[in-house]
Amino acid sequence: MLGRVQPAHFPHVFGPDGDQPLDAEVVRRRFAEQADAIAARTGDERSPEQVAEGYLRIAVLNMANAVKRISVQKGHDVTGYVLTTFGGAGGQHACAVADSLGIRTVLVPPMAGVLSALGMGMADTTAMREQSVEARLEPAVLPRLEEVAKALEEQARAELLDEGVPAERITVTRRVQLRYDGTDTPVPVELADLDTMVAAFEASHRRTYSFLMDRPLIAEAVSVEATGLTVQPDLSHLGDPGTLESQGPIDVVRLHSGGAWRDAPLHRRERLHPGEQVTGPAIIAEANATTVVDDGWRAHATPAGQLLVERVHDRAQDDVGTRADPVMLEIFNNLFMSIAEQMGARLESTAQSVNIKQRLDFSCALFDPDGNLIANAPHMPVHLGSMGTTVQEVIRRNAGTLRPGNVYAVNDPYHGGTHLPDVTVVTPVFDDTGERVLFYVASRGHHAEIGGLTPGSMPAHSSRVDEEGVLFDNWLLVDQGEFRETETLRLLTEAPYPSRNPSVNLADLRAQIAANAKGVEEVDKMIDHFGLDVVQAYMRHVQDNAEEAVRRVIDALDDGEYRYEMDSGAVISVRLSVDRASRSAVIDFTGTSPQLATNFNAPSSVATAAVLYVFRTLVADDIPLNDGCLKPLSLVIPPGSMLAPEYPAAVVAGNVETSQAVTGALYAAMGIQGEGAGTMNNVTFGNERHQYYETISSGSGAGDGFPGTSAVQTHMTNSRLTDPEVLEWRLPVLLEEYSIRRGSGGAGRWRGGDGGVRRIRFREPMTVSTLSGHRRVPPYGMAGGSPGGLGRNSVRRADGTVVPVAGCDSVDVGTGDVLVIETPGGGGYGPPDGA
């Protein structure tokens, strides 16, 4: 459409006989039709060329984001890299992709259109072998590693010899996968003496994760790679234009570039002589590929037949207006999300605790200067919807005293937090003058130990928030660039119920600071690229876009109400009133039980998070979750209720259990779908030597037109479960079963998902604690569907007797006892057939 592919210069392999050129006519007609359709629907009068250009811009951005994921996100600065482009379509977009990444050199190798095939001719032959060892790395284990490596090497060599590779062309690399005891991420090092391997491990670990740990090393596995070196093909004739004379462009074609049709020379690559230059805009065609040299770029042919394309003029800042543009809206949606994702990647790689690093119990997000959520990476819903409150608290409490380089930590449920394990780190992003805050970035991580009555900081029987651990109340974590380590350590260790593992808390807090720093860096880049006014305008546009999406949801909703009874008898009462004229809704929790003596109270931001989540799930579109979703909604949460408790009520279960119940109450009031989970089935067990925490999935609810799903994390959580072998390796337990609890989903035209059955046998005495729901009140069905099956907890003693365990309970178990957790099924939707 835009002249970047020229049918006359593209292989004629189309049509019934495989001999016709590309059909340009149908393409022009179809883009014209689409431009008309877009104008009819939106009034946006774009030419067919502009429509095509808009699509290309998005495709280029998607590709640039993919490059960032494998480079920038892993800490590589790519601006000094070369972008080597190949594949049939690569050359058409390479300059644009390079521009998006700040790369100034593009290499188009000879035969770029068929480089994958050429690579087959250059590849070596390999044979790889590996074997598990799982032994502590100490002098005594070295002979065994050597022995395993030798056996594997013999096998790998034999395979290559069998394939006809001469022995003298075989090289062998022998590696050991090392990891810190208790972690999940091995680092390969070459098999050598002990000191060399430890040094190599530490160097690599520090480079990747930026810290070392004081833990023994485990040799996880030995791997061997045998390589049969291939004799490289002779490419010397590829740059030789032979007898063909250089004659400059063979054609001048119309190329749509920078918003207008322009004449562009078209060269044949095989006629370019070494040293010959082509200044963009221009097209260089060859047998199996086309290279577009964009404006501001210049190509030259090298003696080896390579085409080197370099930026010769600095590019102007992207000229984007501040008016909402459907192309840029998509681009900014992706950009904002990509920033949050890059923060998450940084946090995952630098955090030290298993809970953040492996169960991925964290979230990262970007906020506007008022603390409104703009975009998040798809992390934990219960975090995302409640972090705005945290940021707003930081703004309110530090008005006038915010300084560049300051970073704050918050977990106090009565001052912007939700429950104590979730610690949020907030960093303001200032303008160049250091006077005005342009953005906030924040990361929330679940610290698996933050003090409190019991190890793991999820006490079943806390009655005051102080008993649940250490409180961060508007805590200045970094003071104008200085990490307040001493003060923070004192906070962690001098609380009434101090942290049992403050060094890991500090390490994770440092990782959260680093994640935020990544966010600041990316925001700055975005502002450099587009200009502050444009970025700020799109900050509003993406929220407006989300707001409109929610208003469309409201258009289709009716009034409704529901009294949701929890197992304890506490009630969450919700009434939804829809105002069609203003396309808004009121969600009123009046009638909800007063604050409880237990720890099932939830700060009001948890209810907000549940509302935000529920409405986001009703939007049948891929928008980032943001505060725009909340604009058409007003929430009424009665003060002093369990959804707006007062200090010092205990709250630790509010975030994990009550949050699920609020979600269930909302779906019920809307009549949308059967109840799914309504609990996180929290299980903690341990003794003086071992501690462990997990949440077990239930069945999800069925809705109009779809069944529930069995044994899957629902609604406010999505954390991972420990692998059975890792569980048994680390803890003296035996997993007897984790299966789908067939038949537990509610019947209906659409069946609810089945819950799960998890049986854990203990190999030494421990204490088990449970925090779980739907053990008394079943998960509701919807529209005539049946409720899901009740969950059930029990212990089968070694002697065969079965002892029931309550939903929230604590029980001592002995060797040979088996804990059986049966999680609830999801509610069905619609009357079952024949009913």
Residues from 302 through 361 that contact another protein (CB under 8 A): 302, 304, 306, 308, 326-327, 329-330, 333
**Residue 13 lies near another protein (rule: CB under 8 A):** yes
Cβ 625 to another protein shortest distance, Å: 7
- Regarding 269 and contact with another protein (CB under 8 A), the answer is no
The answer to whether 682 contacts another protein (rule: CB under 8 A) is: no
Nearer to another protein, 621 or 646 (CB): 621
* CA nearest neighbour of 448 among 362, 359, 355, 360: 355
CB of 741 vs another protein, minimal distance in Å: 10
Task: Give the Cα separation of 835 and 784 in Å (integer).
Answer: 9
Tell whether residue 42 is a contact of another protein (CB under 8 A). Answer: yes
Least CB distance to another protein at residue 795 (A): 18
Question: Which among 418-426, 469-477, 585-593, 616-624 is the span making contact with another protein, rule CB under 8 A?
Answer: 616-624
Closer by beta carbon to another protein, 144 or else 436: 144
> For another protein, which stretch binds (CB under 8 A), given 199-207, 483-491, 736-744, 773-781?
736-744
Q: Rg of the chain over CA atoms, in angstroms?
A: 31
Shortest reach from residue 143's CB to another protein, in Å: 18
Decide: 290 and 91 in contact? Cβ < 8 Å: yes
Distance CA 662, CA 665 (A): 5
689 binds another protein (CB under 8 A): no
Is residue 53 part of the contact set for another protein (CB under 8 A)?
yes
Count the neighbouring beta carbons within 10 Å of the beta carbon of residue 755: 36
- Site stretch for another protein (CB under 8 A), options 113-121, 460-468, 494-502, 582-590: 113-121
Phi-psi sector, 396: left (phi>0), alpha (psi -120 to 50), beta: alpha
456 binds another protein (CB under 8 A): no
What does the DSSP 8-state code read for residue 656? Answer: I
244 binds another protein (CB under 8 A): no
Q: What is the DSSP letter of 770?
A: E
Among positions 153-172, residues that touch another protein (CB under 8 A) are 159, 162-166, 169
663 binds another protein (CB under 8 A): no
**Six-digit token pair at 825?**
């099924």
679 binds another protein (CB under 8 A): no
Where are the alpha helices (H) located in 102-131, listed in sequence order? 115-122
Stretch that binds another protein, among 31-39, 266-274, 293-301, 499-507 (CB under 8 A): 31-39
From residue 10, give the alpha-carbon distance in Å to each of 1, 109, 481, 624. Answer: 14, 19, 57, 40
Whole-number Å distance between alpha carbons of 597 and 602 = 12
**Sites for another protein among residues 74-103 (CB under 8 A):** 74, 76, 78, 80-90, 92-94, 97, 101, 103
Which of 297, 497, 589, 613 is in the footprint of another protein by CB under 8 A?
Answer: 613
Tokens of residue 159, six digits: 């395979």
> Binding of another protein at residue 718 (CB under 8 A)?
yes
Interface residue with another protein, options 102, 421, 502, 756 (CB under 8 A): 756
475-534 residues near another protein, rule: CB under 8 A: none
Is residue 557 part of the contact set for another protein (CB under 8 A)?
Answer: no
Which of 222, 215, 153 minimizes the C-alpha distance to 184? Answer: 215
- Cα gap 748→746, rounded to integer Å: 7
Site for another protein in 422-441 (CB under 8 A): none
Q: Does 66 bind another protein (CB under 8 A)?
A: yes
Please report how close the Cβ of residue 359 comes to another protein at its closest, in angstroms: 9
Question: Residue 577, interface with another protein (CB under 8 A)?
Answer: no
Taking the complex as a whole, the smallest distance from the CB of residue 484 to another protein amounts, in Å, to 34
Q: What does the angle CA 342 – CA 347 – CA 353 come to, to the nearest 5 degrees?
A: 155
Of residues 102, 115, 278, 786, which one binds another protein by CB under 8 A? 115
Strands (E), 651-698: 682-686, 691-695
Dist CA 771 CA 459 (whole Å): 9
Q: Which of residues 204-233 bind another protein (CB under 8 A)?
A: 220-221, 223, 227-233
In which residue are the tokens 């009565």 written? Answer: 414
User: In angstroms, rounded to a whole number, what is the distance separating the alpha carbons of residues 360 and 733?
Assistant: 23
First CA to last CA distance, the chain: 58
Pairing of strands 437-446, 422-430: antiparallel
Residue 32 within binding range of another protein, rule CB under 8 A: no
